[in-house]
């Protein structure tokens, strides 16, 4: 698995910025791999968003929260959906091959200035396309794609260990 993020210095990731990059990513990958399918998953429930971000992935509560995400196509994405979503993720798959080919582009409320890119099991051409998005524009930087520790996460961790 490989990851990176494009982090804005000044502004939150806008609907227009996300949509433009997501559309360009999907179209570019489709050129080199016409077998892909994509879906947009939106977390629209604050409790699901807060819970899924602070627990282990395979816990039943997290699995349940993930199953409640709204599924749309990228062409359905509009300002109204963007505004009601706490996390927006484009997921690109190729189910015609054995390996779990996947690309994601995710923006969440916890890090609203960061677009996180992930991939796994890409062929050489798809990897080249993915790498082509690793470019910063003015007032942006490329980062490692790992979440930054927030005061909420630190507080939650300390409370879970009984430390005040």
Q: What is the tens place of the pLDDT at every residue in 106-131?
A: 998 888 899 999 999 999 999 999 99
Give yes or no for residue 135 having a pLDDT over 90. no
Q: How is the chain classified by DSSP, letter by letter?
A: -EEEEEEESSSPPPHHHHHHHHHHHHHHHHHH-TT-EEEEEEE--HHHHHHHTTS-TTSHHHHHHHHTSEEE-GGG--HHHHHH-SEEEEEEE-TTSSS--EEEEEEESSSTTEEEEEEES--HHHHHHHHHT----TTEEEE--PPPPPHHHHHHHHHHTT--
Distance CA 110, CA 19 (A): 19
Q: What is the tens place of the pLDDT at every residue in 137-155?
A: 888 777 766 666 656 666 6
Residue spans per domain, the chain: 2-160
């Amino acid at each position: 698995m490989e990851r990176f993020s494009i982090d804005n210095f000044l502004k939150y990731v806008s609907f227009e910025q996300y949509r433009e990059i997501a559309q360009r990513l999907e179209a570019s990958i489709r050129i080199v791999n016409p077998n892909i399918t994509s879906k947009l998953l939106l977390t629209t429930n604050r409790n699901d968003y807060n819970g899924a971000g602070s627990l282990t992935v395979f816990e039943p509560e997290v699995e349940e929260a993930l199953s409640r995400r709204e599924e749309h196509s990228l062409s359905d994405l509009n300002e109204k959906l963007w505004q009601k979503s706490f996390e927006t993720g484009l997921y690109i798959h190729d189910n015609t091959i054995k390996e779990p080919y996947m690309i994601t582009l995710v923006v969440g409320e916890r890090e609203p200035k960061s677009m996180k890119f992930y991939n796994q099991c890409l062929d050489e051409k798809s990897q080249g396309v993915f790498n082509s998005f690793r470019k910063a524009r003015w007032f942006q930087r490329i980062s490692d794609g790992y979440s930054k520790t927030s005061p909420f996460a630190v507080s939650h961790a300390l409370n879970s260990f009984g430390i005040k």
